[in-house]
Every structure is written in structure tokens, then in C-alpha cells.
Chain A
Amino acid sequence: MLKEYGSRVRLIFKDLPLASHDLARPAHEAARCAGSLGRYWPYHDTLFANQPKFARADLLRYAAEVGLPGDKFAACLDARRFAPEVEADVEQARAIGVRGTPTFVVNGRLVAGALPVEDFRTLIDEALRDRR
């Protein structure tokens, strides 16, 4: 859908691993490691395509699949280099009243839960009209 709107829409992804999902936090940290090595979105897409298989060996395999250098990625993951950044996202979510996932903020408007594509299109169209 982002392709459909082209340069009129910007998407910002924020980490919100739920406490009840024990493998989520390492996956979010792994994605940020991938980002630091220049492959955030391919890794991000691979995680969603393979959920919930997020054991360490899985995370390392996905890194290899998207062309990341295994040694650097493993070092980043094992050092939990991006744990503070992921935690900061969780705190920010809490601060603005986000309670579950997915939650979207469309031009400042909070929308909780997964929406059908048509509803999302309506939201974006409304936001575009409001900007005119």
C-alpha cells in the first residue's frame, strides 16, 4: 500500500516487543543490528515472514539469508547492542498510550489494532485531505 501512495506517505517503524512474547525482544534487537549493518528492511520482512521462529540460530540464519556479515551480526546480537533503543521504544509507546500491537499513529491520530486495507486507505485519504 505504501507503493500506492508513493512519496505522500512515510512509515516509521517502532519496536514494541510484548512482555508475553519471550522471543520478540531478541528479534527486535536483531533487526536493529541488521539496520546498523545496512539491511534493516530485508531483515524486518524476513522476521515477519518467519514468525515466531526467533531462536538465536534462526536469527543468525536470517542474517545470512539477507546478506549480512555473520560475525559482525552475531557480535551485535550477543552484546545486545540495541537493547537500550528497543527499551526506549517500549517506553515511548507506554508514554503516548499505546497498549497493544499493532498500533498506528497516523498524523498524530492513534489507531489501535490491525485494520483491513480499505480502512487504512480511508485513514490515509482523510489525513491527506486534512493536510490540504
Chain B
Amino acid sequence: MVNGVRSTSARRPRVYTIRILPLVLALAVVRAALGVEMLGDITVEPTMVKGPATAPVTIVEFSDYQ
């Protein structure tokens, strides 16, 4: 308070930070969830993988169900 007038300028950065923090966290979660692993030029869909990412041998199989 300065001469009966409430100054908000000093609080603005803090309010901004509080507002943006959940957004940043949400974006990080979304990016992690949607993060697409790349193997050279090949995208890796996590549900279509068997075996650990640390395996020394990676086999990519291109196949046709029919």
C-alpha cells in the first residue's frame, strides 16, 4: 500500500508464474505422453513394440496382415 493505493506491479510476476506453471507442467506431461520415438527415419509407436528400449538389437518388421 502506498498512500492508500494498492500497488500490484510487484506481484504481477508472481501471479504470472503461478498461472503458467500448471500450463508448463501440463505441456510437459502431454509431450511425454505423445512423444514419438524415432529410429532414424522410422517412428516408433509404443504399443507396437516388444522388448526394452535398451536392447542391443532392434528389429523393425514391416509386414502385411493379409
Q: Give the complex CA separation of A89 and B39 in angstroms.
A: 13
Binary flags per residue of A1-36, CB closer than 8 Å to B gives 1, else 0: 010010111111111111001011001100110011
Q: Total contacts A to B, CB within 8 angstroms?
A: 134
Contact A10:B47 (CB < 8 A) given known A31-B65, A105-B60: no
Interface size bucket, A side? 35 or more
Q: Give the complex CA separation of A7 and B49 in angstroms.
A: 12
Whether B50 sits at the interface, judged by CB under 8 Å, is yes
Decide if B55 touches A92 in the complex (CB within 8 Å).
Answer: no
Contact A35:B64 (CB < 8 A) given known A9-B55, A108-B40: no
Closest 8 CB pairs of A and B: A10-B51, A35-B47, A21-B66, A24-B66, A10-B55, A105-B60, A101-B64, A16-B62
